[in-house]
Amino acid sequence: MVILYSSRCLDYAAPGHPESPERVRSAVAQLQKDFHTWLLPTPCTDEDILRVHTRELLEAVRLGTFADADTPFFPGILDLAKLSAGAAILAAEHALAGRPAFSLMRPPGHHAERNRVMGFCYLNNIAIAVARALHSSSHVRRIAIFDFDCHHGNGTEDIFRDDKRVLFVSVHQSPCYPGTGLTAQGNCLNYPLPPNTRPAQFLAALDEGLKRIRDFQPDLLAVSAGFDAYKSDPITNMDLEIETFREIGHRIAAVTQSAPDAPALPCFAVLEGGYSRDFARCVEAFASGWERH
């Protein structure tokens, strides 16, 4: 598996904030024990950002003129957010070249709406990568986004709502932050699950979503990989085990390989949330389940 990672993503922190550099640092240490191809990302361009965000949002992230209690401004955060989005773009490019790829970066992205910074997210990394792939590759006509973070990917839904080229599927806890994703609408399929959902029920919803993705026949599968549905996550209330993330990786990989002799569906993943002490083990379980399908 190709992993996109730069230690520059560790260069910002707010004391006591759950979205800490330590999360990614620990996941990198865990994954470096296995064999992977590690590549440095390059930043995305303003043009990449403006395909999915407003110029007002871009300028607000540059200047710090946004207000979201969960999402502090840091000098230079735009450069780091552009590097994280650039890593997602590169992950998509590797996937399209036949190499499954995982962007192991921060800040995360799936709460960032077209015109709103929120929920630890400044730029919507996966949306930027998907829009870029649709723009730059003539044989990429349909892209499915599968989001298994414990929180609804409201930003991704906001950006792609009614875009027929994109199918957005999200499995998440409800009620929970940000309070959206309660119903399916058009190209946005939501699977809200109650607090304390057990692995079997979570995986059943996941299978429903993956079936809809298969029916959509995408040219590329983009995965928002969040690990906060884990039973010990401090900011959510779900009951997944570490091994559930291995199963999630396995089932996503199964969708990419529909028949033994058929070409694999290109697939890339982008890190979103996950805040427990076992975060690195959850990430490792997902990556190995995906890779060793």
CA dist list (Å): 61 to 15, 18, 25, 132: 20, 20, 24, 20
Q: For Zn ion, which is the closer residue by CB, 27 or 150?
A: 150
Q: For Zn ion, which is the closer residue by CB, 158 or 228?
A: 228
Cβ at position 176, least distance to Zn ion in Å: 9
The CA distance from 52 to 260, in Å, is 36
**In the complex, residue closest to Zn ion by CB:** 273
Single-letter residue type at 179: G
Q: Is 228 in the site for Zn ion (CB under 5 A)?
A: yes
Q: State the catalytic residues.
A: 111
- Within 121-150, the residues that bind Zn ion by CB under 5 A are 149-150
Cβ at position 246, least distance to Zn ion in Å: 19
Single-letter residue type at 166: V
Annotate each residue in 208-227 with x if it binds Zn ion (CB under 5 A) or - if it does not, as one string: ------------------x-
Of 273, 278, 286, 290, the one binding Zn ion by CB under 5 A: 273
Number of chain residues interacting with Zn ion (CB under 5 A): 6
Burial annotation 211-220 (CB, 10 A radius, 16+ → b, else e) = ebbbebebbb
CA 218 centroid distance within chain: 17
Cβ at position 215, least distance to Zn ion in Å: 27
Contact segment (CB under 5 A) with Zn ion among 8-16, 54-62, 157-165, 271-279 equals 271-279
Query: What is the CB neighbour count within 10 angstroms for residue 186?
Result: 12
Radius of gyration of the chain (CA): 17
Cβ at position 238, least distance to Zn ion in Å: 10
- Within 146-205, the residues that bind Zn ion by CB under 5 A are 149-151
Q: For Zn ion, which is the closer residue by CB, 102 or 279?
A: 279
Q: For Zn ion, which is the closer residue by CB, 58 or 171?
A: 171
Cβ at position 169, least distance to Zn ion in Å: 16
Q: For Zn ion, which is the closer residue by CB, 218 or 279?
A: 279
The site for Zn ion (CB under 5 A) is made up of: 149-151, 226, 228, 273
